[in-house]
């Protein structure tokens, strides 16, 4: 088997990269180890509505709910509201990730991408040091897939990068360990995404309640892996649900575990290879959100691959255009928010309560982490000392 | 007796991949839809045990 591009992983990053590479003329194969694209869902399922402008998804079946805003609860329950109506801008969707992922894969297939399921990449195919494709296993059958470019879109557990000599091993302080229920038989009184903070609630992370319609929600927890003990995420989530009047009578439709990188950006290109999505640690270290990055980065990667195929130049230098463009598009934001993550982790619960109290009646100009950070700096100029390196980065973005 | 090495309970594991991403020895991989430990590579650091959200990884002395 010989392709221009072999992509390992049919999540959003892999499918979008494949689609844009194929549209640019490349012959693309995506291999996926699972038996169904998008299943199991490993996600809180929230995404910004800025994807509307990108036109990458057709129809509306992948939308579970359109959000009117977000509420953040500090450890003592003080509520900070970010309302779309007040801010005058749009917030986001809660999506059905299985349908969402399948819609992106459908778009890739429409562009001419081939997809193989139940197919695990076992190692890189190399000629001396040169990457020539991947070795793969489909049930009991082992075979080689030759390709000029290998794309590692193989998620948080990515090993493609390691095989190519890129150190992608996460430190426990750079991983959120998560689990989540889809709960039904609950009353989602409004279309707000709720976030609950506190060292006793979710150390180094948060609990989320994202409504999916009027009577169901994605309810989950992420805790910082360095603060975790065996099974702690599930215990804390179960404890929270059992004490929450809105959730305690809910019935689970689905239970899942997840893992989210909250790290600084890594190198993403080598000769004949690039990394994307969770495999490239392209996740906002504050929110743990990565879907928009997959879509934005996938388009950039696909376009860069198209140019490489056209010029038949697959060198790191050629592929570096992808790294330059994604770091400009959202890599700087990740770097800035990594610094904010470290500042937040140092804060005691009482500091978070104080900050929440000062923001409880604040009128936010934009519903985003940047909007929150701006408000904090405005309200607490003394915080500026700590945030000084951060604001320098903010000015650039 | 050696130090306990990581062992994944196949009945519990939900294949989130967290343990694979933090293993400093690349001793874990996804196999048959579950995390799998190559015990000759495991150095008994126990990071994977502590970070498992559902307690599916434990230590076992061979």
Statement: residue A393 has pLDDT above 60: no
A254 touching chain B per CB within 8 A = no
Statement: residue A1 has pLDDT above 90: no
A24-51 residue pLDDT tens: 999 999 999 999 999 988 788 999 888 9
A85 touching chain B per CB within 8 A = no
A341-369 residue pLDDT tens: 998 899 999 999 999 999 888 888 777 77
Does residue A103 form part of some domain?
yes
Does residue A145 form part of some domain?
yes
Domains along the sequence of chain B with CATH: 5-56 (3.30.70.20)
Neighbours of A135 (CB within 10 A): 15
Does residue A338 form part of some domain?
no
A234 touching chain B per CB within 8 A = yes
Beta-bridge partner residues of A257: A179
What ipTM, to 2 d.p.?
0.96
Inter-chain CB proximity A172 and B47 less than 8 Å: yes
Distance between CA A262 and CA A223 in Å, rounded? 11
Does residue A216 form part of some domain?
no
Neighbours of A211 (CB within 10 A): 24
In this prediction, residue A306 has a pLDDT band, given cuts at 50, 70 and 90, of very high
* Percent with pLDDT over 90 in chain A: 81
Does residue A18 form part of some domain?
yes
Inter-chain CB proximity B54 and A178 less than 8 Å: no
How many domains does chain A divide into? 1
Does residue A196 form part of some domain?
no
A66-103 residue pLDDT tens: 999 999 999 999 999 988 776 666 689 999 999 999 99
The arithmetic mean of pLDDT across residues A167-176, rounded, is 97
DSSP-assigned states of every residue in A290-342: -HHHHHHHHHHHHHHHHHHHHHT--SHHHHHHHHHHHIIIIIHHHHHHHHHHH
The arithmetic mean of pLDDT across residues A358-386, rounded, is 79
| A363 against A155, higher pLDDT | A155
Chain B residues closer than 8 Å to A159 by CB? 20, 26, 29
A247-272 residue pLDDT tens: 999 999 999 999 999 999 899 999 99
CA angle A99, A302, A146 (to 5 degrees): 95
| B29 to chain A: closest CA residue | A157
* Percent with pLDDT over 70 in chain A: 95
Residues of the domain holding A7: 2-57+97-170+264-331
Distance between CA A173 and CA A184 in Å, rounded? 33
Q: State the residue for tokens 């992509």.
A: A7
Does residue A197 form part of some domain?
no
CATH number at residue A109: 3.50.50.60
- A348 burial type by CB count under 10 A (0-12 exposed, 13-18 middle, 19+ buried): exposed
């Amino acid at each position: 088997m010989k392709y221009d591009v072999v992509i390992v992983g049919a999540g959003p990053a892999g499918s979008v990269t494949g689609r844009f590479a194929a549209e640019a003329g490349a012959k693309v194969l995506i291999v996926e180890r699972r038996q169904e694209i998008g299943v199991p869902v490993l996600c809180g399922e929230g995404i910004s509505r800025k994807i509307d402008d990108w036109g990458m998804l057709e129809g509306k079946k992948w939308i579970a709910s359109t959000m009117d805003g977000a509420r953040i609860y500090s450890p003592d329950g003080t509520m900070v509201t970010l309302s779309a109506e007040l801010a005058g801008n749009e917030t986001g969707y809660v999506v059905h990730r299985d349908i969402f992922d399948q819609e992106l894969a459908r778009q890739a297939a429409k562009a001419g991408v081939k997809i193989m399921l139940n197919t695990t990449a076992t190692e890189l195919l190399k000629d001396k040091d040169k990457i020539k494709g991947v070795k793969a296993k489909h049930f009991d059958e082992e075979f080689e897939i030759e390709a000029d470019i290998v794309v590692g879109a193989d998620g948080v557990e990515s090993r493609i990068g390691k095989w190519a000599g890129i150190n992608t091993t996460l430190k426990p302080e750079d991983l959120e360990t998560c689990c989540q229920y889809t709960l039904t038989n609950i009353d989602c009184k409004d279309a707000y995404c709720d976030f609950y903070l506190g060292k006793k609630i979710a150390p180094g992370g948060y609990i989320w309640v994202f409504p999916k319609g009027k009577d169901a929600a994605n309810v989950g927890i992420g805790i910082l892996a360095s603060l975790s003990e065996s099974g702690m995420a599930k215990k804390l989530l179960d404890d929270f649900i059992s004490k929450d009047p809105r959730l305690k009578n809910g019935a689970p439709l689905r239970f899942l575990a997840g893992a989210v990188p909250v790290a600084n950006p890594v190198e993403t290109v080598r000769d004949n290879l690039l990394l994307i999505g969770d495999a490239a640690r392209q996740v906002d270290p504050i929110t743990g959100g990565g879907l928009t990055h997959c879509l934005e980065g996938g388009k950039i990667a696909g376009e860069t691959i198209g140019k490489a195929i056209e010029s038949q130049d697959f060198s790191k230098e050629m592929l570096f255009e992808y790294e330059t463009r994604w770091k400009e598009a959202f890599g700087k934001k990740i770097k800035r928010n990594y610094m904010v993550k470290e500042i937040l982790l140092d804060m005691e619960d009482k500091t978070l309560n104080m900050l929440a109290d000062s923001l409880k009646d604040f009128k936010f100009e934009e519903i985003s982490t940047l909007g929150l950070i701006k408000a904090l700096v405005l309200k607490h100029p003394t915080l500026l000392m700590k945030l000084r390196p951060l604001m320098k980065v903010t000015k650039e973005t | 007796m050696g130090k306990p090495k990581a062992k994944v309970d196949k009945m519990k594991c939900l294949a989130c991949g967290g343990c694979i991403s933090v293993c400093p020895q690349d001793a874990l991989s996804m196999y048959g839809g579950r995390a799998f430990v190559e015990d000759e590579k495991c150095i008994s650091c126990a990071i994977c045990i502590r970070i498992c959200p559902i307690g599916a990884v434990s230590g076992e002395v061979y």
